[in-house]
Amino acid sequence: MNTRSKPMPANERRSATVEAVVALAADQNPGDITTTAIAQQMGVSQAALFRHFPTKEDILESVMTWVAERLLSRVDAAAARASSPLAALEAVFTTHIEFIAKHPGVPKILFAEIQRPNNSLAKRAVHTLLNRYSTRLQKLFTDGKAEGELDPDLDINAATILFIGTIQGLVVRSMLSGRVAQIRRDAPGAFAIYRRGIVRSS
């Protein structure tokens, strides 16, 4: 027993580390994830982690980068496939919810990181992600107004806040119920109300 772990190229080990953190966050308070727990999840000694990351904070920053890349690329692809701005908004929403359902730890990590007051690497990464996300939404709102799909008087800033809030509300709900899959069931109803709030009145 206690066999030594097989060596692995550094970049693969780093990916595995990030995925271990995301997996652990699903059923643990992200702030309470220790380097020992991460190492255990990977089947590696705790000291091994520090061969690939200088500090724990660098691990968290890598997690944020991973999240930002995956989420934004999926969301962009979904929006590109849509036939209109409003359809794109719904596609972005559905894609985001699907991403969360598949990686329930992600929203928890994001929110845990936001809470921190200091300007850590990871927090700045969340900032950047949210800014990029908001920019995409705002373009869709603007286009939707121009095409007459959305309320011409729509407050774009408020619509952005509420879009993210809708997702947050669903996350809170699913975290309280403990059943991750529930978010898929509740999502359409929540989006329907949101949609009603932003479309052009007929």
Footprint on this chain of a copy of itself (rule: CB under 8 A): 27-32, 108, 111-112, 114-117, 126-127, 130, 151, 154-155, 157-159, 161-170, 172-173, 175-176, 186, 189-190, 192-198, 201
Q: Do residues 93 and 49 lie in contact, with contact meaning Cβ atoms separated by under 8 Å?
A: no
Compute how many residues bind DNA; rule: CB under 7 A.
Answer: 25
Residue-level length of the chain: 202
Member of 26, 40, 56, 186 binding DNA (CB under 7 A): 56
CB of 50 to a copy of itself, least distance (A): 22
Residue type, 164: I
Member of 29, 34, 73, 84 binding DNA (CB under 7 A): 34
What phi and psi values does residue 48 have, to the nearest 5 degrees?
A: -60, -35
Member of 44, 97, 137, 180 binding DNA (CB under 7 A): 44
8-state DSSP, 30: G
Q: Where are the alpha helices (DSSP H) in the chain?
A: 10-26, 35-42, 46-52, 56-81, 85-102, 105-115, 121-146, 156-177, 182-198
Nearer to a copy of itself, 1 or 193 (CB): 193
CB proximity list for 13: less than 8 A, separation 6 or greater:
48, 52
Given a copy of itself, DNA, none, residue 29, with its beta carbon under 5 to 8 Å by kind, binds: a copy of itself
Query: Residue 40 to residues 4, 35, 49: CA-CA distances in angstroms?
Result: 13, 9, 10
Site track for DNA across 123-152, x = CB under 7 A: ------------------------------
Binding site for DNA (CB under 7 A): 2, 4-10, 13, 33-36, 44-48, 50-52, 54-57
